[in-house]
């Protein structure tokens, strides 16, 4: 794909394995917010579509593609007296602490793409601060020319604001950008922005779900180099 000059990545389920990373976050945050009350923790987990017993997210969990503010609104009815703003702060703080499990060898993959002259960015529905903290902790922050969260002033996916801001920031046309993600929100944002839509299978969505909305479905982001080369 010689016309591709830049790649914009979703974060969770794309750069990082979704269940391995956010399962620990979901367990910790529900019990922390419930202050040890197991019944309340169970209600909070169900509200965000996480199965505590099985240790995985339901396929339509709002955590998969939603913003932190949307998650806070879902759990707020179970925590009377807690404001949405306070819950967002607590959820963001927990996200910054969440252990990240890389989907591939990120240094090798991202380094190869940078060496090929591509501009790289991240667009996530998490907060920008938690995204930066996680990428810095993994030692890959420096590979990216642009990092945006739902609170960076461009909106969140599936709207195209983050994607168009990336194209403008790195000086390329939207048609020269590949948006890489693991959810239908990512694919919809790519289409709305006029970008290539590349799906990966390191999140909860399966190939049969993603294929109709994507230009290509890859097992992981390690497949990008061959796809770009036309292999």
Cis previous bond, 148, omega within 30: no
- The yes-or-no verdict on residue 116 having pLDDT over 60 is yes
The pair of three-digit structure tokens given for residue 177, joined into one six-digit string = 């950008």
C-alpha–C-alpha distance, residues 227 and 203, integer Å: 20
The secondary structure of residue 99, as a DSSP letter, is P
> Which pLDDT tens digit goes with each residue over 119-163?
999 999 988 998 999 999 999 999 999 999 999 999 999 999 999
- Judged by DSSP in three states, 119 sits in strand
Q: pLDDT value at position 36? A: 87
Q: What is the pTM of this model?
A: 0.84
d(CA 223, CA 218): 6
Of 43, 129, 121, 44, nearest to 87 by C-alpha is 44
Taking domain 6-17+102-228, whether its CATH number is 3.40.50.1000 is answered by: yes
Report the pLDDT value the prediction gives residue 63, as an integer from 0 to 100. Answer: 81
Q: Which residues of 102-138 are buried (b: 16+ CB within 10 A; e: fewer)?
A: bbbebeebbeebbeeebbbbbbbbbbbbbbbbbbeee
- pLDDT, position 171: 98
Compute the distance between CA of residue 163 and CA of residue 91 in angstroms, rounded to an integer.
25
Task: List the structure tokens of 18.
Answer: 């979704």
Mean pLDDT, the chain, rounded, equals: 93
Q: How far apart are CA 129 and CA 120, in angstroms?
A: 18
Q: Where are the domains of the chain?
A: 6-17+102-228, 19-97
Give residue-wise pLDDT tens across range 180-214: 999 999 999 999 999 999 999 999 899 999 999 99
Question: 106: which 2 tokens?
Answer: 């990120």
Closest CA to 95 of 181, 32, 7: 32
Q: What is the pLDDT of residues 24-49, one digit of tens each?
A: 888 889 999 999 899 999 999 999 99
The SS3 of residue 12 is strand
Indicate whether 55 pLDDT > 90.
no
pLDDT at 86: 94
Q: What is d(CA 64, CA 79) in angstroms, rounded to the nearest whole number?
A: 22
């Amino acid at each position: 794909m010689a016309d591709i000059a830049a790649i914009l990545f979703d974060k969770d389920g794309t750069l990082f394995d979704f269940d391995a990373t956010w399962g620990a976050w979901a367990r910790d945050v529900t019990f922390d917010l419930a202050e040890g009350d197991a019944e309340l923790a169970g209600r909070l987990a169900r509200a965000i579509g996480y199965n505590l017993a099985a240790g995985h997210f339901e396929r339509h969990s709002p955590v998969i593609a939603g913003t932190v503010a949307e998650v806070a609104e879902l759990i707020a009815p179970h925590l009377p007296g807690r404001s949405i703003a306070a819950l967002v702060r607590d959820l963001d703080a927990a996200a910054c602490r969440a252990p990240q499990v890389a989907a591939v060898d990120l240094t090798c993959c991202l380094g190869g793409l940078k060496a090929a002259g591509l501009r790289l960015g991240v667009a996530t529905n998490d907060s920008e601060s938690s995204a930066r903290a996680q990428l810095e902790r993994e030692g890959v922050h420096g590979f990216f020319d642009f990092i945006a969260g739902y609170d960076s002033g461009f909106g969140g996916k599936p709207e195209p604001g983050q994607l168009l801001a990336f194209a403008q920031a790195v000086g390329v046309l939207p048609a020269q950008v590949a948006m890489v993600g693991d959810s239908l929100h990512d694919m919809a944002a790519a289409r709305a922005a006029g970008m290539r839509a590349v799906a990966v299978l390191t999140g909860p969505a399966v190939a049969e779900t993603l294929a109709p909305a994507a230009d290509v479905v890859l097992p992981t982001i390690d497949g990008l180099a061959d796809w770009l080369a036309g292999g």
